[in-house]
Amino acid sequence: MKKRLLVIMAAIACIHTCGFGQNKYEFAFQNPDLTFEERAADIVARLTLEEKVAQMLNKTPAIKHLGIPPYDWWNECLHGVGRTEYKVTVFPQAIAMAAGWDKTAMHQMAAYTATEGRAIYNTASAKEDYRIYRGLTYWTPNINIFRDPRWGRGQETYGEDPFLTATLASNFVQGLQGNDPHYLKAAACAKHFAVHSGPEHNRHSFNARVSNYDLWDTYLPAFKTLADVGVAGFMCAYNAFEGQPCCGSDKLMIDILRKEWGFTGYVTSDCGAIDDFYNHHKTHPGAPLAAADAVYHGTDVDCGTSAYRGLIEAVKEGLITEEQIDVSLKRLFTIRLRLGLFDPKPLVPFSTIDSTALERAAHKEHALKMSQQSIVLLKNDGNLLPIKKENLKKIAIVGPNVDNAETQLGNYNGFPSRIITLLDGIRDEVGGKVSIYCDTVIGYYGKTPASFAAALNNVKDADLIIYAGGISPRIEGEEMPVETDGFYRGDRTSIALPKIQTDFLKALKTTGKPVVMVLMTGSAIALEWESQHIPVILNAWYGGEFAGKAIADVIFGHYNPSGHLPVTFYANDRDLPDFEDYDMSNRTYRYFKGKALYPFGYGLSFTRFEYAWASKPEQSYTAGETVRLAFKVKNSGKRKGDAVAQVYVKYPDGKNYPLKELRHFERVSVNAGETTKVQVSIPVSDFQKWNDEALGMKLPTGIYRIFVGNHSDDEAITAQFEVQ
């Protein structure tokens, strides 16, 4: 506190020297001794209705009579600062970072991203450049649950599990927003609230319906966690929920977000979502009523369109009061004040970050680390990997992703100075000592050629074939124009690897040469034939700027793979329920009753990890107590590796409860032959589930089973306890 007082005094002295007068401010909101809320109220009190409404659009004009510059609320930093012409560090896509199961790495990645974001904001604002993608309000993270692998935007999420999602997202938010006691380094935004995970083609009119159990068990937990850790903003979704557009939902926006959770931050609509009220949902006759209803429900920013301009007419017609509009304005200006946007630079600890902070060496090193961590080794027959390059004379690298920089960047991305593709990574690794044949040969989908003769002729003398396939963020993603084999407007109609790729792999198999399959994808792919016939399968996701180097590091043994699946890899389309059915029955590892091809949490290593109890849980617990346990992780192989120890709980018998549920995970590095100990504490209250009779959360009583292992089907060590 004393240090901050000295900083304030120095800043005030600077202000006085610069001509703002003796011991007073022109406007009260300029006084840093007042609370943010007091200062925000002062700004709002000085605005006309027209000025207020203009400040509720994502692109706000300057308020010249108050000396407040323009500001655009819309910015992105899904995996590094996005959509900017500045060269920035591009980390792996969100789903890839989730495959690293590393809380600390996620926190550090977000902190580095905020640093680069501040550098861009400071540089741009010094030039009075206030265009889109310059601000400090980032509409990230996407914490919707990846309930169905066909959803094209699932790549933007942290997977199918609420606990994993909440844990990684809370670390992201805290890293991005910083730990300064007074100012936000950047402002995060939890999206899309709520019950939103496809389909893309009808999202503007789709009405999601779920049971209260599924709502509280699957769709809300991550949002609740981020509200608890102080995320600055929420984004409400396009779709309707129980007949009301999400941005105007009584249940979601008023009863849960504002009242039950006590959220005081700002809410933005998804871009164009307020227009959907009257254009697609047909729940409102026009902009004035739609805008009034959205504001009444606590949606403070109208992104992307001008529906909120109808608020002026809405006030005149008595549909909403100006005082209700003021509530939103105060929230919005409070966020801008918390970011230090109106304060003297000496007061704001992030104001000196400049363009030299972009693409710092430490940021790039971390991007490589996260790319390495994300790679999931799904299969390694006969320990074919790692490859000894001294045994190679020729490598053939074939497939649609051999040299595709665009694929590696995912979506909602920025652009680095250099992107290392798979071809680059292999070339950098083997230098001029090994001959490399490279050819895409085929596309992602389409008709299978009558013959692959030319390609086979070029690979027949190779010592190793690397097939770089999968899909691309240009065909899976947000409302995309693609309507072709297996893909429809951003989503997939089949989770199988496109037939042309399987046919090509079958042809490569006939050569008798060892084949390493590298999948680049944002979602789970069914690999029925491949899992039986291809000796090595690496799932590399969309790995960011260093994807090529990270893959090469795994193939040649410089990095021991440690990625684990944040989603279930199903065997085929028959395992999937109706895409538009949001009921969680038979979805994700928590409720799926079939046999997964590769289960949630799965991932191989070049070494082996064994588990043993150090101390089992007590036999009995009551509400308010904590389950404590400890276990040992032994590296029984011959090289150092990172284990991702996963702790799952099985609930007492009950028709709704998950079959199993992740409740703790820990990434630990263990030297060959050594053992490390992991201690776990799980509050009994975390086991609460929605109870229809109680109309709220209730703790199930009875016998619980707990197990630890390398993935969700690996019950390496087990125990049980009772909750009374």
Which residues form the catalytic set? Answer: 270, 476
Supply the DSSP string of 97-134, one letter for each residue.
HHHTT-HHHHHHHHHHHHHHHHHHHHHHHHTT---TT-
The number of C-alpha atoms within 13 Å of 597 and in the hemisphere containing its C-beta is 22
Phi-psi region of 567 (alpha: psi -120 to 50; beta: other; left: phi over 0): beta
- Measured between its terminal Cα atoms, the distance across the chain in Å is 46
Please, what's the largest Cα pairwise distance for the chain? 85
Alpha helix stretches (DSSP H) within 127-236: 162-177, 212-214, 221-228
Distance CA 157, CA 166 (A): 11
CA dist list (Å): 559 to 237, 368, 535, 608, 609: 40, 11, 19, 15, 17
CB 549 within 8 A of CB 423: no
Task: Provide long-range contacts, Cβ within 8 A and 24+ apart, for 344-352.
Answer: 344/11, 344/14, 344/15, 344/32, 346/7, 346/10, 346/11, 346/14, 347/7, 347/8, 347/11, 347/32, 348/183, 349/180, 349/183, 350/118, 350/122, 350/178, 350/180, 350/183, 350/185, 351/122, 352/122
Which one, of 290, 366, 323, 289, lies nearest residue 110 by Cα? 366
Strand partners, 704: 721
Distance CA 464, CA 513 (A): 6
Give the three-state DSSP class for 148: coil
Listed in sequence order, the residues at least 6 apart from 19 whose beta carbon sits closer than 8 Å to its beta carbon are none
CA dist list (Å): 604 to 98, 287, 598: 16, 54, 11
How long is the chain?
724
Which one, of 636, 644, 642, 629, lies nearest residue 709 by Cα? 644
The number of C-alpha atoms within 13 Å of 193 and in the hemisphere containing its C-beta is 35
Neighbours of 678 (CB within 10 A): 19
Give the three-state DSSP class for 385: coil
| Amino acid symbol at 495 | I
Distance CA 481, CA 82 (A): 22
Joined together, the tokens standing for residue 80 give 């590094």
The residue whose two tokens read 């000894």 is: 388
CB 102 within 8 A of CB 142: no
CA dist list (Å): 644 to 103, 175, 564, 666: 11, 22, 8, 6
Phi-psi region of 359 (alpha: psi -120 to 50; beta: other; left: phi over 0): left
The CA dihedral of 452, 453, 457, 462, to the nearest 10 degrees, is 20
Neighbours of 447 (CB within 10 A): 11
Give the three-state DSSP class for 306: coil
Joined together, the tokens standing for residue 485 give 């084999």
